[in-house]
Amino acid sequence: MDCEALKKYAALHPKPAGLTLQYGTAGFRTKAEQLDHVMFRMGLLAVLRSKAVVSTIGIMVTASHNPEEDNGVKLVDPLGEMLHPSWEEYATQLANAEDQELQKVITEICQKAAVNQHKDASVVIGRDTRPSSEKLSQSVIDGISVLGGQYHDYGLVTTPQLHYMVCCRNTQGQYGKATLEGYYEKLSKAFTELIKQSLSSGGSQRHLKIDCANGIGALKLSEMEPYFPKEVLIHLYNDGTKEKLNHLCGADFVKVHQKPPRGLDMKPNERCCSFDGDADRIVYYYKDATGDFHLIDGDKIATLISVFLKELLAKVGQTLKMAVVQTAYANGSSTRYLEETLKVPVHCVKTGVKHLHHKAQEFDVGVYFEANGHGTVLFSKAAETKIRQLAKEEKDDEKREAAKVLENMIDLINQTVGDAVSDMLVIEAILALKGLTVQQWDAIYTDLPNRLLKVQVADRRVIDTADAERRAVTPPGLQEKIDALVKKYKLSRAFVRPSGTEDVVRVYAEADAQENADALAHEVSLAVYHLAGGKGAPPQP
């Protein structure tokens, strides 16, 4: 390590006094002007991580669905997965170290993580369309260069595209070609193969309106459009040419406000969808003939995919184990439909993509989606090998055809991370193959009315949860109170959990009718306020 060079460069990216940040599920996220030193240091960390695992590491500069003034950074591990939890701690230490301690902290990380300094390091970088992203990714490059790492800058890419690149590079191209063309070709080829049956059976043109959140999704979809079959017509809105990123649009806005984004005119029963700012989440929606808005969230996306995969697995006749992974926020109707009607095992885990991804890896086919529209499907190595073999060698026509459809699904799905582009194509292919309208998809089950509230507390740590965050262990008496409140309403449940980022407690309630869900959520909020140290005025109904 060249100590003089490190000192010189660190001085160009000084840490603001008194600023401490925490590396969480989303990496680091805050106001863009506070991030220069963090970017430089994550460049350093990526080099260390690369040397430790002797693989290419990714760095994505984005703050996803946050406002345009914010930015953030996250590291991507060798197979396109999120950074290993033990390294999240190193990231936090390195980001918060004072300038003069930088070298000491790097040496400590090398010792703790057994980093061989003599190994080569290779890092790939991507960024979203925020005004601050280009300059911040330059700071990342400074960090990589000062420790002698090699880098490739992919420039403007969606977050899932960067995850894909990392996986391709570390599997020597087995997962695909590590270029944007490689990504577009792999996905569009699988998509075209899938829907050509529905097109040949006289399917007319397929129109889809897409709200791109004024983000990177618009740029990448317009690059990808020439690769699509001519019958598939996508119409891009909020493409970033006029308005601000994520402002009154995008998947998060639509999901939270339960209304269409600005700048997209919906005619009755048209299929529409929204990406978030870095294109790793998607939700669908439509207006019915009476003008009512209907949201199709991650739970319903997971259900559609599960119905389709279950039918195919049954046709192939293999004993492959499939499961769906959800969090406590998943609508009770979706859980009931999956378990009771579809007879697919459902597992509930703590909130956060890493918990869902980890659990889904336990099955031959693991489907996971958060209600917010972030999710994907994982296929075990054994399942993938078996499916590809059957698609090639199976004598029985029906079984072989089903295996071929599954094989194309494997190629169309971005297994590294939730990917709005990939998920959109999966959904469009399934709707086409099953001949479903958006209304028929929505009618698979009816969501239970629900309400999500926040309660300000003095210290969020007073609440501790168990059973995948569905039960409150502390403070004493809170869970008993919730249980008593839940008993008052039909088909009801409620849970509380501390926010991961601020001193608020999130309250979720559902019941047979909206006024009951609202009442239950309010009563639980009051219980939290009184038993867990509420701040300010008590929650109002």
Mean pLDDT of 496-516: 91
* Residues 59 and 204 occupy one common structural domain: no
Annotated binding site for Mg(2+): 64, 276, 278, 280
Annotated binding site for substrate: 370-372, 497-501, 506
> Domain for residue 122, yes or no?
yes
State yes or no: pLDDT of 3 exceeds 80.
yes
pLDDT of residue 499: 86
**CA angle (437 as vertex; 433, 440 as ends), nearest 5:** 110
* Residues 372 and 483 occupy one common structural domain: no
* Residues 414 and 309 occupy one common structural domain: yes
pLDDT of residue 30: 92
pLDDT of residue 503: 85
> Domain for residue 540, yes or no?
no
> Domain for residue 355, yes or no?
yes
| 529 phi, psi to nearest 5 deg | -55, -45
> Domain for residue 541, yes or no?
no
> What b/e string do you get for 489-501 counting C-beta neighbours within 10 Å, with b at 16 or more?
beebbbbbbbeee
Quick check: 520 and 485 in contact, CB under 8 A? yes
Annotated binding site: 64, 276, 278, 280, 370-372, 497-501, 506
pLDDT of residue 200: 64
* Residues 24 and 112 occupy one common structural domain: yes
* Residues 59 and 75 occupy one common structural domain: yes
CA nearest to 137, candidates 67, 40, 276, 250 = 40
State yes or no: pLDDT of 40 exceeds 70.
yes
Confidence label for 383 from pLDDT (cuts 50, 70 and 90) = very high
Q: Other CB atoms closer than 10 Å to residue 116's CB: what's the count?
A: 9
The enclosing domain of 491 has a CATH number of: 3.30.310.50
Alpha-carbon distances of 536 from 35, 464, 520, 527, 529, rounded to whole Å: 32, 22, 21, 15, 9
State yes or no: pLDDT of 260 exceeds 70.
yes
* Residues 56 and 110 occupy one common structural domain: yes
* Residues 371 and 481 occupy one common structural domain: no
pLDDT of residue 65: 87
Higher pLDDT, 345 or 500: 345
Q: How many domains does the chain have?
A: 3
Give pLDDT tens digits for 199-220.
Answer: 666 557 889 999 999 999 999 9
Last residue of a domain, one of 391, 416, 443: 443
* Residues 321 and 432 occupy one common structural domain: yes
245: its two tokens: 């990123």
Confidence label for 176 from pLDDT (cuts 50, 70 and 90) = very high
State yes or no: pLDDT of 500 exceeds 80.
no
The enclosing domain of 135 has a CATH number of: 3.40.120.10
Last residue of a domain, one of 411, 443, 475: 443
Last residue of a domain, one of 423, 443, 463: 443
d(CA 261, CA 244): 13
* Residues 392 and 474 occupy one common structural domain: no
* Residues 414 and 362 occupy one common structural domain: yes
d(CA 167, CA 483): 45
* Residues 429 and 398 occupy one common structural domain: yes
> Domain for residue 356, yes or no?
yes
Can you tell me which residue has the tokens 């008496």?
477
> Domain for residue 161, yes or no?
no
d(CA 276, CA 67): 11
Give pLDDT tens digits for 79-109.
Answer: 999 999 999 999 999 999 999 999 999 999 9
Query: What mean pLDDT, rounded, does the chain reach?
Result: 95
pLDDT of residue 203: 58
Active site residues: 64
Mean pLDDT of 26-34: 93
Give pLDDT tens digits for 328-372.
Answer: 999 999 999 999 999 999 999 999 888 999 999 999 999 999 999
Confidence label for 2 from pLDDT (cuts 50, 70 and 90) = confident
Domain containing 129: what range? Answer: 3-156
> Domain for residue 172, yes or no?
no
* Residues 275 and 299 occupy one common structural domain: yes
> Domain for residue 392, yes or no?
yes
